[in-house]
Amino acid sequence: MRLELHRARVKGIRWGSATALAGDGVLQVNRDELLALIREDGRFAGVDADLASPGDRVRIVPVKDVVEPRCKIEGDGEVFPGMIGDVETVGQGKTFVLDGAAVVTCGKIVGFQEGIIDMSGVGAEYTPYSVTFNLVLIFRPVDGIEIYEYEQACRLAGLKAALYLARSAHESGAAADRVETFELPSVPELLSAYPKLPRVAYLYQLQTQGLLHDTYVYGLDAKRLIATIIHPNETMDGAIVSGNCVSSCDKNSTFTHQNNPVISALYARHGVDLNFVGVIISNENVTLIDKRRSSAYAVKLARILGIEGLVISEEGFGNPDADLIMNCHRAEIAGIRTVLITDEYAGRDGASQSLADATKEADAVVSCGNANMIVELPKMDRVIGYTDYVDVIAGGFSGSLRADGSIEVELQAITGATCELGFTRMGAKTL
């Protein structure tokens, strides 16, 4: 499978008469056209849109998801298959990317787990979404709506907006300034191409625990999935979509699924230090039997593929630590070397044990930081969304929001701060 990502650099964002990428690299958005599209969904009583650029003294809260604007320009299917389009296989041909732009969905809260994005100040150093030019959608649901329905409406709206921006910009003649090619052939071809390199795969755990804890693969709720194989290029076309905010710091947003850094890092070393054979997706369900089934199945797939090394990434914390540890233990027992990517809940003072589960085989772990660390976020000039939720979101506590508009919260309230795909440079060490 071969996919070209045609990246057009976005250097700014503003409202304008037509949605297009202007010559100066500024993404111009026709607000009315965009809002009309999103308001087609009758589940919203109101939708508003706003803009936030890096360095702005702006806070976005409560954040549900972040999506990168992309659209297919050649090849089968459309981005976000099974969600807003058909289920045809994606990951081949050409995909246009508004590189540096993002759609942020925000609005009346669905659950505790939603997060904060600050575009400047201390908070901006922790969230990866402070460096993107953000189009923010702010939702208000119709009265009496079922919470699952509202969550789904928010999720789809973000995807629609992302596709709309990319499609409109591309149709207006925006040209890519960089083309990246990703190609991974069939397994037999891979094995004969690099017979001497160690065979490596990526075991990609998806959070699947119900409301605000789900993930979708080609539109299928991944909790109903048995571990399976996905081509890495499919993820770049939005085959995996986030429907969760398992504390927002360790949420894998749709943006990070589209730009999975483990997949990039494996591609980068492919054919040099390792033979990147494939990606196995599995889930993190709520019963022990489901966890055991998923883990047994995922490791079995790795064995069928003759995998010698696995990177395993987690999403969330607490019981998903059990999935991570179980996968590690099973794989190591089967002779497959593993490296785990997780984050930590070591307490505000950093003195507690960080994970809920442990095994001696887990001797190679990458930590994406202690989510309990307290950060003080200064008052911003402008808030997009609603700050009155800050006390109740995960990572917030009674008194988090102060009278002067500043906020004291745990890192876990900051969207993407300790992303367990290893998206940022964040980590933790022992002193």
Active-site residue numbers? 245
Work out which of 10, 103, 362, 401 binds another protein, going by CB under 8 A.
362
- Does residue 232 have a cis peptide bond before it, meaning omega lies within 30 degrees of 0? no
Smallest CA-to-CA distance from 229 within 266, 267, 202, 251 is with: 202
Task: Show contacts with another protein in window 240-269 (CB under 8 A).
Answer: 246-247, 260-262, 264-266, 268-269
Distance of closest approach, residue 56 Cβ to another protein, in angstroms: 22
Smallest CA-to-CA distance from 66 within 242, 264, 292, 286 is with: 242
* Both structure tokens of 213: 């804890």
Work out which of 346, 377, 401, 414 binds another protein, going by CB under 8 A.
346
Closer residue to another protein, CB minimum distance, 134 or 285: 285
Distance of closest approach, residue 50 Cβ to another protein, in angstroms: 27
Work out which of 331, 344, 380, 414 binds another protein, going by CB under 8 A.
344
Work out which of 18, 179, 288, 333 binds another protein, going by CB under 8 A.
288
Distance, in Å, from the CA atom of 68 to the CA atom of 131, rounded to the nearest integer, reads 13
Q: Under the criterion CB under 8 A, does residue 341 sit at the interface with another protein?
A: yes
Work out which of 131, 296, 383, 428 binds another protein, going by CB under 8 A.
428
Distance, in Å, from the CA atom of 312 to the CA atom of 280, rounded to the nearest integer, reads 10
Work out which of 105, 235, 282, 342 binds another protein, going by CB under 8 A.
342
Q: Under the criterion CB under 8 A, does residue 356 sit at the interface with another protein?
A: yes
Task: Show contacts with another protein in window 99-118 (CB under 8 A).
Answer: 111-113
Distance of closest approach, residue 180 Cβ to another protein, in angstroms: 16
Spatial contact of 99 and 7, defined as CB atoms under 8 Å apart: yes
Task: Show contacts with another protein in window 6-65 (CB under 8 A).
Answer: none
Task: Show contacts with another protein in window 142-181 (CB under 8 A).
Answer: 147
DSSP assignments along 173-184, one per residue: T---SEEEEEE-
What's the length of the chain? 431
Neighbour order of strands in the sheet with 337-344: 228-230, 275-284, 199-207, 309-313, 337-344, 365-370
